[in-house]
Amino acid sequence: MSKVIITVAPVGAETTREDNPNLPLSPEEIVEDVYRAYEAGASIAHLHVRDENGDSTQDPEVFRPVIEGIRKRCDIIIQVSCGGSVGMSAEERAGPLTLSPEMATLTTGTVNFGKEVFSNPYPLVVEFAKLMKERGVRPEIEVFDSGMLTTAHVLLKKGLVDMPLHVDFVLGVPGGMAASARNLVHLVEDLPDGATWTVAGIGRHELPMATMAIAMGGHVRVGFEDNVYYEKGRLAKSNAELVARIARLAGELGRGVATPEEARETLGLSPIGSAK
């Protein structure tokens, strides 16, 4: 098994300071937070950004200083969200692709998202896949429900995405697929040969899902986007605290933690600084 790739999802679109007062919001706070998570073992940063009111935005001019600030400090892989928040237009969601980041998220279907709907009709999925290809941005397929993995197979067959495919199973969203061992095994069994995968368990499911993924040869996403607690009744002090725990587990379970360079090799990404 390769070393564990830890993705940090430090802010998300929905989490607030009421959920956890340690949530980074401003570009400077997000840069600092990502750097601390990198020091703790994260090799991918899954980025959302917020405007001056703390609301989710996909404005590339808000992403730009965050990406530049992170780049000055470390070589963590930058993955922008193209999910944004529910209700955003496709054009708005695609905004950060204009910055040609290394990676971006591609959700391959629509799902109930709590009381709302995270809308990803097939034409939007195809449009985003094409945009990512044109810009040399590597998609991470976001799977909230099993039909989304079926659609990823369709995209592969049509040449809209390429191998090696990297897939994130987001399990435990109210309305999406439940975070259970059986569901995780089922999804992993349905992956195309040669794909890599990671799991983001929501809320209290974060740690058990992460532990299963480490044991099964997968990778792990943690952070305030998905979960704000360290344990029941105790909020996490920082995203770095959540990352550090996964790094310890990866060590204990004999896999170790991938550096960003090692993660690029595992994912088939070009080394940083080289032409795409």
Dig out the tokens for 254 from the structure. Answer: 């004999």
Count residues near Zn ion (CB under 5 A). Answer: 1
Beta strand pairing call for 234-235 and 49-50: unpaired
Q: Which of residues 131-160 bind ligand KMH (CB under 6 A)?
A: 142
**113 belongs to the binding site for ligand KMH (CB under 6 A):** yes
Stretch that binds ligand KMH, among 80-88, 154-162, 211-219, 252-260 (CB under 6 A): 80-88
Whose structure tokens read 């995780």?
184
Contact 213, 200 (CB under 8 A): no
How many residues bind ligand KMH, per CB under 6 A? 13
67 and 34 Cβ atoms separated by less than 8 Å: no
| 15 is a contact residue toward ligand KMH (CB under 6 A) | no
Q: Which is closer to Zn ion, CB of 57 or CB of 81?
A: 81
* 149 and 156 Cβ atoms separated by less than 8 Å: no
Q: Which residues of 92-115 are buried (b: 16+ CB within 10 A; e: fewer)?
A: ebbbbbebebbbbbbbbbbbebee
Task: Confirm or reject binding of residue 35 to ligand KMH (CB under 6 A).
Answer: no
Residue window 93-112: x/- pattern of binding to ligand KMH, with contact defined by CB under 6 A: ------------x-x-----
Query: Which lies closer to Zn ion via its Cβ, residue 3 or residue 103?
Result: 103
Does residue number 13 form part of the binding site for ligand KMH (CB under 6 A)?
Answer: yes
Comparing CB distances to Zn ion, the nearer of 3 and 25 is 25
Question: In this structure, what is the dihedral angle of CA atoms 275, 7, 142, 173, given to the nearest 10 degrees?
Answer: -160
The footprint of ligand KMH on residues 151-210 (CB under 6 A) is none
Binding interface with Zn ion (CB under 5 A): 81
